[in-house]
Amino acid sequence: MESTPIVTKYQSHEGDTGSVKVQVALLTERINELTEHLKEHKKDFDSRFGLLKMVGRRRRLLNYLSSTEPDVYKGFIADLGLRK
């Protein structure tokens, strides 16, 4: 099974698909895609609810990363282009 370019970029070792950085990067990609979808389909409330759940999950993962590795966190959110 081949890894996506995002997984390859953020994994800490070969075969790493579940680390916090990989999960946040994948969630960020999905959030950006869904945001574009919702710009066109303004009344798609089910997708909007899913988007809010993904944003909350990403926020919790980022909070964990900031409490365990603050130096990695700062560079990581700058790399992804996130605010905080």
Question: Residue 25: is it exposed, middle or buried by C-beta count within 10 angstroms (0-12/13-18/19+)?
Answer: buried
Whichever domain contains 13, its CATH number is: 1.10.287.10
Q: What is the pLDDT of residues 21-30, one digit of tens each?
A: 999 999 999 9
How confident is the model over 3-21, as pLDDT tens digits? 789 999 999 988 888 999 9
Global confidence as pTM: 0.91
Number of domains in the chain: 1
**Plot region of 81 (φ>0 → left; ψ -120 to 50 → alpha; else → beta):** left
For residue 56, give its domain range: 5-80
